Structure 1
Amino acid sequence: MLKRFFLICSGADLNLLENCANGEQNKYAGIGATVFFTALMATIASAYALFTVFNNIYTAIFFGIIWGLLIFNLDRFIVSTIKKRKSKRKELIQVLPRLLLAMIIAVVISKPLELKIFEKEINQVLLTEKNQMTLDNKTQIAQLFTPEIEKINTDIASLKNEIATKEQEVNTLYETYIAEAEGRKGTKLLGKGPVYKEKRDKHDAALSELSQLKTSNNEKIKTKEEIIRNLTQQQKEAESKTQPIISNFDGLMARVNALNKLPWLPSFFIFLLFLAIETAPIFTKLISSKSEYDYKLENHESIVKTWIQQQIHQREAILQTDVDLNDKVYSDLKTEEDLYNYKQKMARNLMKLQTDSFYKNQQDIL
């Protein structure tokens, strides 16, 4: 049962193989097994590749089976259409396009499996790229908010400098009127005279201005600090919104690009393995000598070809005979007097009817 299944997979004519030697049947069963297991590997590879895209196991399995059947049909077609020729050159010409198709299929099958085999290494490459993308993303977002935040911080520093300058001025005035009272500066008279009172009033006025300036500037500073907090919150929200995009940067194309950044030699050997599997049936047929099945197939095709040629020749002969008979019949009819008189009579009647009809139409118009 299993052998017959593999013979079906090989695309060979089962009716011809039934009468062939057991060794011949085993050869084509091996070719069919190669076709089947190649399609099975294609199903697994495609299902994994599609799972990385859809992230749904049922969808991946469904489309993976369809892809496997497609590969199975292509491989079966490639193997079944390779026939032994009298010339090796003709065999090579017919094999070249099939080899090209087999190479394409090998690439398509091997690439998803490479992604699975080197999954850990690919994840490491993707992690490094994600970290770099996160840093770049934060830098780009910061460039949108940093100039405005820095401008506001500059304004806050300016407001604080105004307060500090005014405090320095008040402190200087305070030192001045205290020194006047102690007789260390100014009039150098001990006591609280008119000069002391003047300097004290000036200090008190400056102190009042300082109080008003602190109240005004502190309100402005609080407003600007609140703006900075809002901008910082917006910056964090922008980072949190874009971070999931970076976290999900592990699709099929990203993994293929990450695979290409790994050493190429292991991937190349895996590709060679699948290329050997995919092209094995083709090379088996190419290098093997003409076998019992090939002779029987050639004989069967020759019988069909001869029978079709006979049918075509017979139909052409019948057609030519029918044409010759018709020519002779109509040639004989041309010389019959009765047929001539009858056709002349009918033509005369037809012309009369046409004349009467024309006359009636003219009357109706008038």
Structure 2
Amino acid sequence: MLKQFFWMCSGADTDILESSSKSEQHKFAGIGGTVFFTAVMASIAGSYALYTVFDNPYLAVFFGLIWGLLIFNLDRFIVSTLKKSDNKWKEIMQATPRIILAIIIAVVIAKPLELKIFEKEIDQVLLEEKNELTLANKAQIANQFTPQINALNTEITQLKDEIDAKEQAVDTLYETYIAEAEGRKGTKLLGKGPVYKEKREKHDAQLSELKDLKEANKEKITEKEAQIASLISEQKDQEATTQPIIDGFDGLMARINALDKLPWLPSFFIFLLFLAIETSPILAKLISPKGEYDFKLQDQENAVKTWVEQKVHQRAQVLKTDMQLNEEIYSDLTEEEELYNYKRKKARELLQQQADSFHASQQKIIR
């Protein structure tokens, strides 16, 4: 049962193989097994590749099975259409497009499996790329908000500096009227005289202005700090909104690009392995000598070809004979008087009917 299944996979004529030797049966069973297991590997590779696209195991398995059946059908077609002949160069020319197609299939099968085999290494490369993208994204977003935040911080600093300058002026006036009262500066008279009162009033006026300035600047600083907090919050929100896009940067193309950044030698050997598997049935047919199955198949095809040629020749002879007979028959009929009189009678009747019809149509016109 399994042997016949592999025969079917090889695309061979099972009726001919039934009557062939054991070696021929084993050869085609091996070819069919290679075709079948290549399709299985293609199905697995396709399922994994599609899983990275859909993120749905059921869809990935479904389309992976369809992909495996497609590869199976292509491989079976490639092997079944490659037939042995007495001319090796003719066989090579016949096999060349099939080998090219097999190489393409090997690349398509090997690449998703390489992605799975080197999944951990690829994840590491993707993690580094994601980190770089995250930092670049934050820097790009920060460039949008930093000028406004810096401008607000500068304004806050200016408001605070204005308060500090006012405080220093008030402190200076305080020191001036105290020194006047103690007699250390100014009139150098001990006590609270007119000059002291004048300086005290000036200090008190500046102190009142300082109090009003603090209240006004405090409101402005609070407002600007609220604007800074709003900008920072907006910046964080934008970072949080764009981060999932970076986190999802692990699709099929991203993984293929990450694989290209890894050492090429292991991937190359995996490709060579699948190339050998994919081309082995074709190479086996090319290398192996013409066997019993090939002779029987050729004999069967030649029998059909001969039968078709006989049918074509027979139809040509029938047509030629029929044409000759028709020519002789019609030639004999031209000499028969009975047929001549009959056709003459019918022609006379036809002319009479035409004349009567023409006469009737003319009368209708006159009337």
- Normalized against structure 1, the TM-score is what? 0.94
Q: Distance in 1 between matches of 2:366 and 2:139?
A: 100
Q: Structure 1: which 5+ runs fail to align?
A: none
Partner of 1:52: 52
Post-superposition shift, 1:347?
Answer: 4.1
Post-superposition shift, 1:360?
Answer: 7.2
Partner of 2:37: 37
Contact 1:126 1:250 in 2 (8 A): yes
Alpha carbons of structure 1 residues 356 and 128: separation in structure 2 relative to 1, 3 Å:
farther
Alpha carbons of structure 1 residues 311 and 11: separation in structure 2 relative to 1, 3 Å:
same
Amino acid at match of 2:235: Q
Q: Distance in 2 between matches of 1:262 and 1:357?
A: 102
Contact 1:125 1:258 in 2 (8 A): yes
* 1:197 pairs with 2:200: no
* 1:314 pairs with 2:314: yes
Q: Distance in 2 between matches of 1:256 and 1:69?
A: 24
Q: Distance in 1 between matches of 2:44 and 2:146?
A: 50
Partner of 1:294: 294
Partner of 1:352: 355
Partner of 1:168: 168
Q: Distance in 1 between matches of 2:40 and 2:125?
A: 30
Q: Distance in 2 between matches of 1:361 and 1:254?
A: 93
* 1:215 pairs with 2:215: yes
**Length, aligned pairs only:** 364
SS in 1 for 2:62: helix
Partner of 1:233: 233
Post-superposition shift, 1:66?
Answer: 0.8
Post-superposition shift, 1:111?
Answer: 0.8
Alpha carbons of structure 1 residues 136 and 354: separation in structure 2 relative to 1, 3 Å:
farther
Amino acid at match of 2:72: F
Post-superposition shift, 1:79?
Answer: 0.6
Q: Distance in 2 between matches of 1:93 and 1:320?
A: 41
SS in 1 for 2:290: coil
Contact 1:333 1:339 in 2 (8 A): no
Post-superposition shift, 1:323?
Answer: 3.5
Identity %: 63
SS in 1 for 2:289: coil
Amino acid at match of 2:316: E
Alpha carbons of structure 1 residues 357 and 22: separation in structure 2 relative to 1, 3 Å:
farther
SS in 2 for 1:190: coil
Q: Structure 2: which 5+ runs fail to align?
A: none
Q: Distance in 2 between matches of 1:187 and 1:95?
A: 119
Alpha carbons of structure 1 residues 112 and 357: separation in structure 2 relative to 1, 3 Å:
farther
- C-alpha RMSD over aligned residues: 1.9
Deviations 1:129-149 (A, max 9, x none): 111111011111111111111
Amino acid at match of 1:82: L
Q: Distance in 2 between matches of 1:362 and 1:280?
A: 92
* 1:244 pairs with 2:247: no
Partner of 1:94: 94
Amino acid at match of 1:75: D
Partner of 2:146: 146
Amino acid at match of 2:180: E
Mean alpha-carbon deviation: is it higher for 163-172 or for 295-304?
A: 163-172
Q: Distance in 2 between matches of 1:177 and 1:354?
A: 149
Post-superposition shift, 1:334?
Answer: 5.5
SS in 2 for 1:191: coil
